[in-house]
Amino acid sequence: MSCNPFASSLRQVAICAAGLVGIAGAATALAAPGDGEPVNYDNLPDTLSLDAVIRDFKPKGVAGGHNDFQAYSGSTTVGLVQSRLGEDGVPVAADLRGFLIRSEFKDSAGRNIMPALFDPQLGDSQGSLSPGGNGNGLTSAAEFDQWYKDVPGVNASKVVPLTLKRIPGTNRYVFDSATHEPYKSIGGFFPIDGELYGNYGSTGHNFHFTTEVRTQFVYSRGTGQTFKFTGDDDVWVFIDGQLVIDLGGLHSKKEQYLDLDRLSWLEDGKRYRLDIFHAERRTTQSNFRIETTIELRAVELPPTAALYD
C-alpha cells in the first residue's frame, strides 16, 4: 500500500507519518549551481502588488453574529477543508474537527511543512496528529461556506492592497504585518479597523474577518520557487486548486513552507493559480506574513459589496 500525499483523509497521513505506510513522492529538484558568479537580481521588480478581499463578520453572541467567530479555541488543525477547491473556487469544509498538529512535520532543512506533503524519501521528519475535539474547528459546512462569499446580512466586504517588497540583493518578496506600515504602527494585521462592522468591544481593533488573495504565476522547475506563510488564525493556500499549505484552526502565529518542486503535477513553464484563504477568528492577535520567491501576479478578484446593517 502506498500513501497518497494528498489523501482526503488525514488518518492515512497519520499512519504514513508513523512509518507504517511508505509515501511515494517525487524528489525535490534543486537549482543547478552556476559558475560561482553572484546572481544579479536587479532586473526583478522591487514590489509585487496584490489585492485582498476582506470580509467582516460579527462575532458569536451578538445579534447577527457568526458561530465560527470568537467561538472556538485550540491549536493548529489540519483537515478542516477538502484537499481541492470547490467548483465555485473557494474552500469546502471537510472534517469539522480536523486533526491537531501535536508535533510539526518538517522537511530535510527543518522547515515546517503541511503534513499531507510528508515524504520520508525526501528526508522529511515525521510529526504527529491527534483528532480534534468539540472546542476546535468549524460549526457547520453551511456556515463555513459563507467565509469567502459576500452574503448580505452575514458579512461586509472591501478590497485592500497587499504589497510584497523585495529584500535587497535577493529574489525574496515579503509582506509582513509586523514590519510593514500601516500595520506595524497599529500592532498587527487589522485592515478594516473602524470600518464595516466596526471594532470589537474595547480591543481597539476590528477582529473577525476573512482574507482572500488570488494570484497567478509561471512555474519554473529547479529555480528555487518557494512560498512560506506565517500567521494566525486559519490559513489555506491552494496551487492549481490543490491544497499545499494547511494551517487551519485557532492558533498563535504558526508557519508552513513549500518548495514548489515537491509538486509533481506542476509542468515547467506553465501558468498556475495560487490562492490564499485566511481567517482572523478570535482576539487577541492578528499576524499575516508572506515570504516567497515566486513572481506572483494579481488576478481579477470577485466583485465585492460592502453590505451591512
pLDDT for 227:
98
Gap between the terminal Cα atoms of the chain: 54
Among the listed residues 142, 148, 159, the one whose alpha carbon sits nearest the alpha carbon of residue 90: 148
Amino acid at 193: D
Residue-wise pLDDT for 221-261, tens only, equals 999 999 999 987 899 999 999 999 999 988 878 999 999 99
139 closest CA partner among 100, 101, 97: 97
pLDDT confidence of 10, banded at 50, 70, 90?
low
157's grid cell:
466586504
| Mean pLDDT across 297-302 | 82
Does the model's pTM come out above 0.95? no
Q: What is the pLDDT of residues 251-274, one digit of tens each?
A: 878 999 999 999 999 999 999 999
Strands 254-259 and 226-231: antiparallel
Type of residue at 186:
I
2-6, 42-46, 75-79, 250-254: segment of lowest average pLDDT:
2-6
User: What is the spatial distance between Cα 111 and Cα 113, in angstroms, rounded to a whole number?
Assistant: 6
Helix ranges restricted to H, the chain:
10-17, 141-144, 183-186
Half-sphere exposure of residue 308, counting CA atoms within 13 Å on the CB side?
16
In this structure, the number of other CB atoms found within 10 A of the CB of residue 123 comes to 12
Q: What is the mean pLDDT of residues 82-101?
A: 95
Give the pLDDT of residue 39.
79
pLDDT at 3 over 70: no
Is pLDDT of 54 > 90? yes
Q: Which of 225, 233, 231 is nearest to 287 (CA)?
A: 231
SS3 17: helix
What is each CA distance from 276 to 197, 208, 220, 224, 227, in whole angstroms?
23, 17, 20, 20, 11
Instruction: Please indicate whether residue 38 or residue 245 has the higher confidence score (pLDDT).
Output: 245
